[in-house]
Structure 1
Amino acid sequence: MYGIFCGFNGGADVARFVMNRMVYEVFKDRPITKSMSVQEVKDALLKKFHTVDMRYLQTVDDDLTERLVLMDDPVGNADRISVLNAKVRKGTTVFVVLRVDRHIYVLNCGTSLGLAVRSDRSMVRLNLRVHDNDDPGEYERLEKLNIDPLTVHRPTRALGDYFRRNLFEEKEEFLGAKGNPVISEPDLYHWEIDETWKYLILLSDGVLQNLKDCGVEDCAA
């Protein structure tokens, strides 16, 4: 298994938690094995991802509850609320590539990109989209929620980030929103590989942004 977990809003600890928990879920707790069918692996990987999401929520659940109580007096409790705000706004993107025999499963929740290099030097883009407001699907999702997509900065899908997932109605730009601006629903891809597949290249959000700044729009070209 290979992966990129990019913490944001000070979320390096969130990235470590999610990475370690994802490894545990895949290899220790009812592990994914070669005997499973393609659909069974896909179902198991999605279920394990959502379990990790739930486990992280449990680590900040007390903070969210305390914050809710303190908001009865936001001025008097301003210092403590500020501390809690910093904790609950942390988040991480998740990009996992799992090889099971001659199959590759790619799970993406965020803004990383995976490429495979074949022996003829051609490249395969492993995830067809990244989750930001430049993606047509994400742009449309946000518009349907009565949200201006330009107000939702990357990533538009992530783990953690509870300010934009659970507390979004507190922000002026999301007052009329019909749902969460940021969600934790990943995309999942399956590829069948052969001996021509030679290398994997995983690009984090920061690397992709640097490439765009240098004028590289299509990394697979």
Structure 2
Amino acid sequence: MAAQRRSLLQSEQQPSWTDDLPLCHLSGVGSASNRSYSADGKGTESHPPEDSWLKFRSENNCFLYGVFNGYDGNRVTNFVAQRLSAELLLGQLNAEHAEADVRRVLLQAFDVVERSFLESIDDALAEKASLQSQLPEGVPQHQLPPQYQKILERLKTLEREISGGAMAVVAVLLNNKLYVANVGTNRALLCKSTVDGLQVTQLNVDHTTENEDELFRLSQLGLDAGKIKQVGIICGQESTRRIGDYKVKYGYTDIDLLSAAKSKPIIAEPEIHGAQPLDGVTGFLVLMSEGLYKALEAAHGPGQANQEIAAMIDTEFAKQTSLDAVAQAVVDRVKRIHSDTFASGGERARFCPRHEDMTLLVRNFGYPLGEMSQPTSSPAPAAGGRVYPVSVPYSSAQSTSKTSVTLSLVMPSQGQMVNGAHSASTLDEATPTLTKDPSRPENDWTAIPLCQLNLLGSLTPG
């Protein structure tokens, strides 16, 4: 069991205090390492895996889940997974806490983790500065005399120890309420079974250079938001919020795109969503790394990855007998779609030369496992509404043939728009519907209720 828990954090081969934490057996995880494809379609790992994840429960019935997406090494993701568990599962949260208390504890935990990591590399940064001061100025490293070789080797080692960062999405389940905190580009979806089908809601926002709220935040610091959006990448990443990454935290004044900022522009402060009541909910929670949905978007195009992944999970629930098998089957399917798209040489092959690490965590809320869903007839639209069919290609088979899962998008009837919502909607007020707030980013459907996806009958070969 201890070995299983060590693999839970995909950590270095050293014991961790988290080995003794109880695992949550109501959840499962699937993963795949990064791949780059050669011209003959052969895939090779570009770098050691950098994702990490956790799924724990505490003695006071608090559940903690997390998916962490790293870059430039896995040191930060491993640090965050272990330290965040310590900041949330050692009595900081209990059943007596109000919603505001839970949000405060989450904010504090992320702050402590960020500061602790940066403090943990202080000595290495100081040693790096000292060694660099011993090198001749203005001489390229490859031209340095042999006597400096040991210094250069030590500098490379130090750089590996201090480099890198992580994006994180974390879910806390307490008092049957769900809280989600995220920094960066990983996603959380809540998928509910309703009388009309499977309702899929993204609970968090992507912190990217496409996010208008993030661009506004950066503009308030004196930065050129238009230029940032045009460039799209900040020090190798699209994310505007990250944990770690000392280069953009300490050295942003030396980065042209960020040098005018009045204070640190790249932050580790999470956005917290919830509490989301789970009373009476049947369905599942999804936490996924950016690599998973980006691989699917590369193969199929942007805009439908959340819905496609939810449909895949739903199908695997009916086929598999364990949650780990459900999650792994979906990851394997996305991996095959991506590699097949590259091998096809078709229109989207050029978007699929490589994919990053992929991690999927599924937490079950009473959704039937290992039972095939009974075919249902096409649902009638809600009173006054209309049904818009959406076709999502999917195959649960090992072959490359596709099976079409037909989903429908149930929209409220058209009424007077009030604050971006239909005032005359005939849907129940508690039922999320797909609504676009024009003040939000193009792909941000998360701050407001989302769509309902209805499985319209059995799978039919495409």
What TM-score do you get using the length of structure 2 for normalisation? 0.44
Q: Do the aligned partners of 1:4 and 1:204 also contact (CA within 8 Å) in 2? A: yes
Q: 1:106 aligns with which of 172, 180, 189?
A: 180
Q: 2:167 aligns with which of 84, 89, 93?
A: 93
Q: Percent of pairs identical after alignment?
A: 26
Q: Do the aligned partners of 2:75 and 2:161 also contact (CA within 8 Å) in 1? A: no
Gaps of 5+ in 2: 1-63, 138-147, 308-450, 452-462
Displacement after TM superposition at 1:186 (Å):
0.7
Q: Do the aligned partners of 1:105 and 1:189 also contact (CA within 8 Å) in 2? A: yes
Provide the residue aligned with 1:64 in structure 2. Answer: 125
Is 2:256 the counterpart of 1:163? no
Displacement after TM superposition at 1:73 (Å):
5.2
Kindly report which structure 2 residues correspond to 1:34-73, keeping only aligned pairs within 5 A, or say none: 34-72=95-133
Q: Per-residue displacement from partner, 1:127-183 (whole Å, max 9, x unpaired)?
A: 1x1111111112223344325322413221111111011112233443333333421
Q: Per-residue displacement from partner, 1:101-134 (whole Å, max 9, x unpaired)?
A: 221110101101111111121112111x111111
RMSD of the alignment, in Å?
2.2
Displacement after TM superposition at 1:74 (Å):
5.6
Q: 1:116 aligns with which of 190, 196, 206?
A: 190
Kindly report which structure 2 residues correspond to 1:67-216, keeping only aligned pairs within 5 A, or say none: 67-72=128-133, 75=136, 79=152, 80-120=154-194, 121-127=198-204, 129-144=205-220, 145-147=222-224, 148-149=227-228, 150=231, 151-152=233-234, 153-190=237-274, 191-213=276-298, 214-216=300-302
Q: Do the aligned partners of 1:114 and 1:203 also contact (CA within 8 Å) in 2? A: yes
Q: 1:13 aligns with which of 53, 71, 75?
A: 75
- Residue 170 to residue 88, structure 1, CA distance change in 2 (3 Å): farther
Where relative contact order (Cα < 8 A, 6+ residues apart) is larger, the structure is 1
- Residue 59 to residue 124, structure 1, CA distance change in 2 (3 Å): same
Rg larger in structure? 2
Q: Name which of structure 1's ranges 131-140 and 94-103 shifts more when overlaid on structure 2.
A: 131-140
Amino acid at match of 1:41: V
Matched residue pairs, number?
218
For 2:168 and 2:109, locate their aligned partners in 1 and report how far apart those are by CA, in whole Å.
13
Displacement after TM superposition at 1:39 (Å):
0.8
Q: Do the aligned partners of 1:211 and 1:217 also contact (CA within 8 Å) in 2? A: no
Gaps of 5+ in 1: none
- Residue 69 to residue 177, structure 1, CA distance change in 2 (3 Å): farther
Q: Do the aligned partners of 1:158 and 1:183 also contact (CA within 8 Å) in 2? A: yes
Q: Do the aligned partners of 1:116 and 1:197 also contact (CA within 8 Å) in 2? A: no
Is 2:294 the counterpart of 1:217? no
- SS, match of residue 172 in structure 2: strand
Provide the residue aligned with 1:4 in structure 2. Answer: 67
- Residue 173 to residue 67, structure 1, CA distance change in 2 (3 Å): farther
Which one has a larger percent helix, Structure 1 or Structure 2?
1
For 1:197 and 1:67, locate their aligned partners in 2 and report how far apart those are by CA, in whole Å.
53
For 1:71 and 1:179, locate their aligned partners in 2 and report how far apart those are by CA, in whole Å.
26
- SS, match of residue 121 in structure 2: helix
What TM-score do you get using the length of structure 1 for normalisation? 0.87
For 2:65 and 2:93, locate their aligned partners in 1 and report how far apart those are by CA, in whole Å.
15
